[in-house]
């Protein structure tokens, strides 16, 4: 890389070269059968160079010196054609990194066979436990990534690691009832995925879903599960923590540092080094050291997260939240491992105290939430009715509200903490909210 | 390939090996600047083998003999673990292919430079023509693909070709009005893309959009443009032509062959050999010869389209509509180049006769249409108000209805015929529909 940087420095004032090598194996299920097994591996190199505040960015799916040189020249040509970005300050300088966690090399060599066997075991188990259930879909995957980020200011970080995930989607058919798709999943930095647990939880939810209960307009306690929390917060809440939105005045959290934005039970931080994290990266997409960034502590908003560009525009420091999009090549503010702190009591204990309420497993329509003000309108589905301390059936209803009001109604977080691997990785307990207005459907 | 098929035949009753080599160059625009240029190329091999009616499917992102052999073995292991698909009949037999059109080899060698220059030209031109417009987004791309499909029944088809596309998204800001994103595009089997035309059409639409008009509930003639037609028909109509849906009884066209499903002006067929087609393939994803399949002729429904699997389940022949998904590896029924026949008069002439009506450029929410019955509910945006034969401003409104009722109200198709490259390639004129009920917003 050293000589490539030297070569690129001739064409740019400052330059960054990021190489990503990846290997992904996966296997899928469709209607109780294994539908596909795949092995993919490759390299992508992204060159970001700046000349007279003009940006050039080129992507090539190779790490060969000759191809990377072509990309460098491509980026240089582009920089010439672009106009100056007067807001541009500079690429990041080297920082102090935490100690790299030891990667689990068994993930580097994983074959689809193990995943196929896991899925087959999951399918058999699910159908044994519930003869009326079909495994509509599912997937097992293992990904391994090596990242090497170098820039002309001396940043030179190499990281490698991997993670595995497994999920199943069950649909139950009984006495004319067809349940919605019921999902459960596991993800961790080892191949030791909890197939039995996934099946057990999914089958239990399918069992609840056979007993359809009408929903009505009411104000009740509601427990959100990890999948529902990930869905809602990813669109309605997390974007508001972005420093770019502070600069662009599109976050309701502007000027609210130190103020109450949630109830005391809510503590939330981004930390790739959490024990359940899937990507314990020491540096972000532009080589800035990662750290634990507290966003909400006992209900108080603690501050925004930044990448290098927007931090310098605003006159602050990057918090190590520059995430790279390998399709666009660009860096934008994002999260590594969003953690919501867990509590002392189990989900079961929390449910046992609810006279009437709901456990929301999933939400639909969260993507149309408005992060500028936190307003959202989602369909809770699957959702399960709780009566006299027990889940008695399933239901579908609408929740329209504001995510900050909802956070203010949070009364307890459970002991369980689950990793949601989709999109932003979220590590979260179940959260109970009091007096939530719902609209029957 | 020959020896790989021989090798695979030892493990399967019948087997198919499909190799796809591709090269894609592209460049993107963000806020008046070139944001990225990329060059990607690679190979994917998909092995589909059947043993005792058990399917095995493996994907590997390589065309090297050793890697393909691994995929063959992977597929064989999977087939052992799957249960019998009693509906399985066999892979396709060789057929008679049309003569291959000559590929345009300049597309094989295309570099991002040409695209970057096109985009820069487009940005300059757009901002010259309208100082209040910004080029919010855009992309130029050239893709080249080589497909080699071989199976143990003697199918052995090699095809190669490419296409280029270009689009811009403009947003205008004037006197407090911010227009919606206004798109225009061009796509063809050559690098000679119509940048000037794209800019001219987009700028004209932005000009219309500055003049915002309130919409109301009314029943008026509406002209749908290519982008709106592609959006609505892709979700509400095209799936209904699928033989799989006939078998599964999820198409409203069941038993309607020969019946009137649209007004006389509507003639629709799938034909990869249409002069504007972007992929003039002689064989589909499983090597079955492609042909012109008429779906609607002067308003009469002519029949369904099939892939090999569902055709044999139903007891008919594949129509050459087996499309391969390179992510899942699977074959499903799809279209190569959906053509809606054009008419005699220009859009301008058709508009000139409208006292009050709308020209709908794009629709939102079409993906939630229901192809089982053709019901849809979309937001027309951008949409342009026509008064006394001229476009006088822009408006947003809702159209909820049934796509077959709408097709019955079609009164004219224009002379212009445009290629919509996104998703299913559609080649379509503007279509005028009479007495369409709209809800003001």
Residue B423 confidence (pLDDT) above 80? no
Closest CA to A54 of A10, A84, A18: A84
B27, containing H or E segment: strand B14-30
Closest CB from B32, B37, B330 relative to A78 = B37
Token pair listed for B110: 């295309």
Separation of alpha carbons B151 and B92, rounded Å: 8
Residue B1 confidence (pLDDT) above 90? no
Inter-chain CB proximity B35 and A71 less than 8 Å: no
Inter-chain CB proximity B35 and A28 less than 8 Å: no
Separation of alpha carbons A209 and A13, rounded Å: 61
State the CB neighbour count (10 A cutoff) for residue A311.
Answer: 25
Inter-chain CB proximity A36 and B42 less than 8 Å: no
b or e along B95-133 (b: 16 or more beta carbons within 10 Å of the residue's beta carbon)?
A: bebeeebebbeebeebebbbbbbbbbebbebbbebbebb
> Chain-wide mean pLDDT for chain A?
96
Largest distance between two CA atoms of chain A = 73
Q: How confident is the model at residue B131 (pLDDT cuts 50, 70, 90)?
A: very high
b or e along A13-35 (b: 16 or more beta carbons within 10 Å of the residue's beta carbon)?
A: bbbbbbbbbbbbbbbbbeebbbb
Closest CA to A44 of A64, A24, A26, A25: A64
Separation of alpha carbons B348 and B142, rounded Å: 32
Tens of pLDDT along B161-204?
999 999 999 999 999 999 999 999 999 999 999 999 999 999 99
Instruction: Name the pTM for this structure.
Output: 0.91
A80, containing H or E segment: helix A65-81
Nearest-5° Cα angle at B397, B394 to B403: 120
Q: Are B342 and B429 in contact (CB under 8 A)?
A: yes
Token pair listed for A30: 């469709």
Q: Tell me the chain B residues in contact with residue A36 when contact means C-beta distances shorter than 8 Å.
A: 57-59, 328-330
Tens of pLDDT along B366-388?
998 999 999 999 999 999 999 99
Residue from A43, A74, A85, A325 whose CB has the most chain B CBs within 10 Å, to mutate: A74
Taking the CA of residue A240 and the nearest CA in chain B, the distance in Å comes to: 22
Q: What torsion do the CA atoms of B102, B108, B111, B117 make, to the nearest 10 degrees?
A: 20
Tens of pLDDT along A230-266?
999 999 999 999 999 999 999 999 999 999 999 999 9
Tens of pLDDT along B256-275?
999 999 999 999 999 999 99
Q: Which residue of B has its CA nearest to A58?
A: B37
Mean pLDDT of A373-401: 96
Mean pLDDT of A274-287: 96
Q: Are B226 and B232 in contact (CB under 8 A)?
A: no
Mean pLDDT of A382-395: 97
What pLDDT, on the 0 to 100 scale, is given for residue B229? 97
What pLDDT, on the 0 to 100 scale, is given for residue A249? 96
What pLDDT, on the 0 to 100 scale, is given for residue A225? 97
Mean pLDDT of B105-128: 95
Mean pLDDT of B398-422: 96
Tens of pLDDT along B134-152?
999 999 999 999 999 999 9
Closest CA to B33 of A378, A191, A78: A78
Separation of alpha carbons A120 and B404, rounded Å: 43
**Category of A137 on φ-ψ map: left (φ > 0), alpha (ψ -120 to 50) or beta:** beta
Q: Are A72 and A59 in contact (CB under 8 A)?
A: no
Inter-chain CB proximity B37 and A85 less than 8 Å: no
Nearest-5° Cα angle at A174, A352 to A360: 35
What pLDDT, on the 0 to 100 scale, is given for residue B424? 85
Mean pLDDT of B78-98: 95
Inter-chain CB proximity A38 and B55 less than 8 Å: no
B309, containing H or E segment: helix B308-314
Inter-chain CB proximity A38 and B81 less than 8 Å: no
Residue B317 confidence (pLDDT) above 80? yes
What pLDDT, on the 0 to 100 scale, is given for residue A1? 85
Taking the CA of residue A109 and the nearest CA in chain B, the distance in Å comes to: 14
Separation of alpha carbons B193 and A189, rounded Å: 48
Separation of alpha carbons A355 and A353, rounded Å: 6
Closest CB from A35, A60, A328 relative to B39 = A60
* Strand pairing report for B375-387 and B363-364: antiparallel
Taking the CA of residue B189 and the nearest CA in chain A, the distance in Å comes to: 24
Separation of alpha carbons B224 and B229, rounded Å: 6
Residues of chain A in Cβ contact (below 8 Å) with chain B:
27-28, 32-42, 55, 57-61, 67, 70-71, 74-75, 77-78, 81-83, 85, 112-113, 116-117, 120, 328-330
> Chain-wide mean pLDDT for chain B?
96
Residue A2 confidence (pLDDT) above 90? no
Separation of alpha carbons A355 and A352, rounded Å: 8
Token pair listed for A221: 């306690």
Closest CB from B32, B36, B328 relative to A36 = B328
Q: Can you name the residues that pair with B25 across neighbouring β-strands? A: B39, B142
User: Which residue in the block uniquely carries the two structure tokens 């491992």?
Assistant: A337
Residue A41 confidence (pLDDT) above 80? yes
Domains of chain A in start order, with CATH, are 1-209 (3.30.2290.10), 211-440 (no CATH)
Provide the CB-side half-sphere exposure for B66 (13 A, CA). Answer: 0
What are the φ/ψ torsions at residue B131 (nearest 5 degrees)? -65, -20
């Amino acid at each position: 890389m050293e000589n490539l940087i030297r070569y690129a420095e001739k064409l740019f004032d400052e330059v960054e070269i990021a190489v990503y090598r990846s290997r992904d194996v996966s296997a899928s299920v469709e209607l109780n059968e294994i539908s596909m097994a795949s092995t993919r591996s490759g390299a992508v190199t992204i060159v970001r160079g700046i000349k007279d505040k003009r940006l050039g960015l080129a992507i090539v799916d190779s790490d060969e010196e000759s191809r990377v040189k072509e990309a460098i020249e491509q980026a240089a040509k582009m920089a010439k054609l672009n106009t100056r970005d007067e807001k541009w300050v500079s690429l990041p300088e080297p920082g102090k990194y935490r100690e790299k966690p030891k990667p689990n090399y068994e993930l580097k060599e994983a074959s689809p066979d193990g995943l196929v066997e896991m899925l087959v075991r999951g399918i058999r188990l699910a159908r044994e436990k519930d003869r009326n259930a079909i495994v509509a879909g599912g997937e097992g995957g293992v990904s391994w990534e090596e990242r090497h980020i170098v820039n002309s200011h001396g940043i030179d970080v190499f990281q490698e690691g991997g993670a595995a995930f497994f999920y199943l989607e069950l649909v139950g058919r009984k006495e004319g009832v067809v349940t919605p798709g019921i999902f459960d999943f596991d993800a961790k930095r080892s191949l030791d995925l909890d197939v039995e647990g996934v099946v057990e939880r999914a089958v239990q939810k399918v069992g609840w879903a056979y007993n359809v209960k009408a929903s009505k307009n009411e104000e009740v306690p509601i427990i959100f599960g990890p999948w529902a929390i990930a869905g809602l917060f990813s669109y309605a809440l997390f974007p508001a923590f972005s420093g770019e939105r502070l600069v662009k005045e599109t976050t309701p959290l502007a000027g609210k540092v130190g103020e109450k934005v949630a109830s005391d039970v809510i503590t939330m931080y981004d930390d790739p080094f959490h024990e359940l994290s899937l990507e314990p990266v020491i540096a972000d997409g532009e080589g800035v050291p990662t750290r634990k960034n507290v966003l909400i502590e006992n209900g108080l908003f603690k501050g925004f997260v930044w990448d290098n560009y927007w931090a310098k525009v605003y006159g602050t420091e990057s918090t190590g939240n520059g995430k790279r999009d390998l399709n666009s090549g660009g860096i934008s503010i994002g999260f590594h491992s969003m953690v919501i702190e867990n509590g002392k009591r189990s989900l079961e204990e929390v449910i046992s105290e609810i006279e009437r309420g709901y456990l929301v497993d999933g939400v639909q329509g969260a993507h149309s939430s408005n992060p500028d003000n936190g307003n959202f309108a989602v369909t809770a589905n699957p959702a399960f009715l709780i009566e006299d301390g027990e889940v008695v059936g399933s239901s579908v209803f609408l929740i329209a509200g504001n995510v900050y009001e909802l956070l203010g109604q949070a009364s307890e977080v459970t002991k369980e903490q689950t990793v949601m691997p989709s999109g932003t990785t979220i590590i979260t307990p179940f959260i109970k909210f009091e007096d939530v207005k719902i609209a029957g459907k």
